[in-house]
Amino acid sequence: MDQFKLTDKVAVVTGASEGIGRTLAVGLAEAGADIIICSRREEKLKEVKTEIEKTGRKAEVFVLDICKLSDIEGLKKFILNRFGKVDILVNNAGFTVTKPAWDTTEDEWDSMVDTGFKGLFFCCQIIGSIMKEHGYGKIINLSSTFSRSIIPGRSVYAAVKAGVSHLTEALAMEWASSGIRVNALAPTAVLTPSREHLLKGEVLKKILSRIPLGRLATPDDLVNATIYLASTASDFVTGHTLLVDGGWVAAS
């Protein structure tokens, strides 16, 4: 079981100010890692920092607009100055619009693609270069069940997530010789505080009807899967999209 421990590892989590990113950052700290938490909202990150420090691990805040390569380069310098290495990168930052394809605007397209795909790629490249120097690292990209299945209103978001899963395979192939494992995590709907107002009534009933295990994902489901992909327990796993979906894709 020691293989699952992340003691003294350094992890970077983007989009860590709330929701899934916040949960994953705290969960990685509970498994033993020191965390650099990133998003555009400094005040929210300070709250997460306090939560992480209660676990006894170190937390650093870095304000990051993932759409700006200069910010990602700044994050690289910050990591090297504070820790001198990075072992784990969780690319969680994303932007979602639920809207018919007919009505999607160019600005909405740009926000979804620039945040969830372009920004993710350059985080992999720039932060991954630190891992390359050390000959080892774990990159975990947040994909989605919509990379493999779809519902109305999620055309662009689904296309981005399909791209994330395919990019994950490409980077895994290219970077294996550098000791970098690249995998993706693909959840279905997750019951987080920010989603509770949406996941109820007929919407909830419709989603549950497509999940064979009969419930939504919980943050703990994602934390446990992330710890596995971040730890040495998964050292022979790369280029994989791990579905944490209660059977949603299989049933689709």
Q: Residue 106 pLDDT more than 90?
A: yes
User: Domain 2-244 is in which class?
Assistant: alpha beta
- Give the CA dihedral 55, 61, 62, 65, nearest 10 degrees: 80
Contact 213, 246 (CB under 8 A): yes
The residues pairing with 13 across neighbouring beta strands, listed in sequence order, are 37, 90
Active-site residue flag, 157: yes
How far apart CA 207 and CA 205 sit, in angstroms, is 6
Residue closest to 33 by CA, chosen among 187, 143, 129, 137: 137
pLDDT tier at 172, thresholds 50, 70, 90:
very high
pLDDT score of 162 more than 70: yes
Cα–Cα dist 137/123, whole Å = 13
Q: Report d(CA 219, CA 22) in Å as an integer.
A: 10
What pTM was computed for the model?
A: 0.95
Give residue limits of the domains in the chain.
2-244
Q: Give me the residue label for tokens 């791209």.
A: 163
**Sheet of 241-244, strand order:** 59-63, 34-39, 10-14, 88-91, 137-142, 180-187, 241-244
Percentage of the chain beyond pLDDT 90 is 87
Residues 95, 146, 157, 175: which is the catalytic one? Answer: 157
What's the whole-number mean pLDDT along residues 88-107?
A: 96
The b/e string for 66-89 (b: 16+ C-beta within 10 A; e otherwise) is: bbeeebbeebbebbeeebeebbbb
195: confidence class by pLDDT, cuts 50, 70, 90? low
